[in-house]
C-alpha cells in the first residue's frame, strides 16, 4: 500500500486548502431548492444542510434525505462535532414527528434517515420521539424505507428497545473512530465498548433490522487499528459500514492528522467486504448516510 500523506505534505495542505479529491461544488439545481424550501416551511432541520454535506445534491436527487430531530443542542461535546453543546432542559416538540412525516410524504422520498443530537436530559434519551417519528412516517408513506442513526441512549437497553420495536429498516450508532482515539475524540459518555454493545443489542433484539455504523479516518489512527475496528464490528453483527475522511469544522476542534488518499479508502472497502460486511461505503467524501438507499438494497441482496 502507498503510505498516507506525510507530515510535510500535511503542513502544505492543511490550513490552506483540501486535496483535490475533497473539493466539490455546492449544489443549486435539481431537487435541492424544493427540498430546502419545504424543510424550511415545515421548520425542520436536515443534517445535509447543517453539515454542508458534499453529497447533498446526489442524495436529494435520488430521493434520500437525512432529518435531524430532537432539536439542535447536544448534551455532549465530542471534539470532532460542530453541533451546539448545552442543556436543552428536557424540551421536546410534540409536533415534530408529524412534520417530518408530512415532509417525507410531500417529497415522495424513497428513503429517509432520522438522526439526532444526544439528549441525555431526557429519561429515555429521546427514544420515544424516534419511535413516534418512524410510526408517523410509516402511516403516511408506507413504501418509504426508514433508517435510524441513533444516540447510544447511555447504554439503556429499554430505551433502545423502544426504537427497535418501531421496526426501522436500518438502525445504527456510529463507532466514529478506533478504540485508542475514542477518549481523545469523543465525549467521555460515548465509549467504544458502549457503541459495540448498542450495535450488538440491535442485532439481538431484532435480527431482521440491518445494523449499520460509520467511522472517520484521518484522526491519527493506523491501518491496523482500522482493520481491528472492522473485526470488532463484525463480531457484534454489524452489516453495513461507512468510512469517510474527517474534516475539522473549526480551529477549536480536533485537528486533521492525515489526508487519506482515495486508494487507501478502496483498500478499506476491499478489506471490509472480505470480513463479511454486506456493504461498505468507503471514500473521502463518504458520510454516514451516503448511498443509504443503495446500501440497504445491496445488503438485502447479499444477505440472501
The pLDDT tens digits of the residues spanning 280-292 come to 999 998 887 766 6
Q: What angle do CA 135, 240, 303 make, to 5 degrees?
A: 90
Residue 38: pLDDT band by 50, 70, 90 thresholds? low
What pLDDT does residue 33 have?
Answer: 58
The residue that leads in pLDDT, 231 or 10, is 231
Nearest partner of 189 among 96, 278, 300, 75, judged by Cα: 75
pLDDT at 249: 85
Res. 11 pLDDT band, cuts 50 70 90: very low
Residue 14 pLDDT: 45
Query: 203-212, pLDDT tens digit by residue?
Result: 999 999 999 9
Q: What is the pLDDT of residues 67-103, one digit of tens each?
A: 889 998 999 999 998 888 999 999 999 999 999 999 9
What per-residue confidence (pLDDT) applies to 23? 65
User: Counting beta carbons within 10 angstroms of the beta carbon of residue 43, is it exposed (0 to 12), middle (13 to 18) or buried (19 or more)?
Assistant: exposed
- pLDDT bucket at 20, cuts 50 / 70 / 90: confident
* Entry pTM: 0.85
Higher pLDDT, 265 or 27: 265
Residue 112 · residue 148 · CB < 8 Å: no
pLDDT at 69: 95
Residue found by looking up cell 487507501 in the block: 264
The per-residue pLDDT for 58 is: 54
The answer for 126, left when phi > 0, alpha when psi is -120 to 50, beta otherwise, is: left
Average pLDDT, the chain: 86
> Which range, of 75-84, 193-202, 229-238, averages the lowest pLDDT?
75-84
Is residue 304 very low, low, confident or very high in pLDDT (cuts 50, 70, 90)? low
Q: What pLDDT, in 10s, does the model give residues 52-71?
A: 555 555 554 544 688 889 99
Inform me whether the pLDDT recorded for 1 exceeds 60: no
The per-residue pLDDT for range 110-142, each reduced to its tens digit, is: 899 999 999 999 999 999 999 999 999 999 999
Rounded Cα distance between 70 and 97, Å, is: 10
What is the set of domains in the chain, with CATH numbers?
A: 9-303 (3.20.20)
pLDDT top residue among 10 and 116: 116
* H or E stretch at 112: strand 111-116
Amino acid at each position: 500500500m502507498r503510505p498516507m500523506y506525510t507530515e510535510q505534505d500535511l503542513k502544505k495542505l492543511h490550513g490552506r486548502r483540501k486535496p483535490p479529491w475533497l473539493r466539490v461544488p455546492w449544489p443549486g439545481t435539481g431537487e435541492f431548492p424544493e427540498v430546502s424550501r419545504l424543510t424550511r416551511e415545515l421548520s425542520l432541520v436536515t443534517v445535509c444542510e447543517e453539515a454542508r454535506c458534499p453529497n447533498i445534491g446526489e442524495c436529494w436527487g435520488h430521493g434520500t434525505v437525512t432529518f435531524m430531530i430532537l432539536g439542535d443542542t447536544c448534551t455532549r461535546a465530542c471534539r470532532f462535532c460542530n453541533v451546539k453543546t448545552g442543556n436543552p432542559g428536557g424540551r421536546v416538540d410534540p409536533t415534530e414527528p408529524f412534520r417530518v412525516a408530512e415532509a417525507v410524504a410531500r417529497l415522495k422520498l424513497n428513503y429517509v434517515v432520522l438522526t439526532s443530537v444526544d439528549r441525555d436530559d431526557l429519561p429515555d434519551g429521546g427514544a420515544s420521539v424516534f419511535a413516534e417519528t418512524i410510526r408517523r412516517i410509516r402511516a403516511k408513506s408506507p413504501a418509504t424505507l426508514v433508517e435510524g442513526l441513533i444516540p447510544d441512549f447511555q447504554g439503556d437497553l429499554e430505551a433502545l428497545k423502544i426504537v427497535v420495536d418501531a421496526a426501522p429498516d436500518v438502525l445504527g450508532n456510529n463507532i466514529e473512530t478506533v478504540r485508542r482515539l475514542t477518549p481523545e475524540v469523543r465525549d467521555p459518555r460515548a465509549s467504544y465498548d458502549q457503541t459495540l454493545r448498542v450495535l450488538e443489542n440491535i442485532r439481538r433484539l431484532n435480527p431482521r433490522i440491518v445494523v449499520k455504523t460509520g467511522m472517520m479516518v484521518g484522526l491519527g489512527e493506523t491501518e491496523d487499528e482500522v482493520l481491528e475496528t472492522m473485526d470488532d464490528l463484525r463480531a457484534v453483527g454489524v452489516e453495513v459500514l461507512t468510512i469517510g475522511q474527517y474534516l475539522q469544522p473549526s480551529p477549536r476542534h480536533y485537528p486533521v492528522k492525515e489526508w487519506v488518499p482515495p486508494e487507501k479508502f478502496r483498500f478499506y472497502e476491499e478489506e471490509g467486504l472480505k470480513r463479511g460486511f454486506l456493504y461498505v461505503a468507503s471514500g473521502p467524501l463518504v458520510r454516514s448516510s451516503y448511498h443509504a438507499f443503495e446500501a440497504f438494497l445491496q445488503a438485502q441482496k447479499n444477505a440472501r
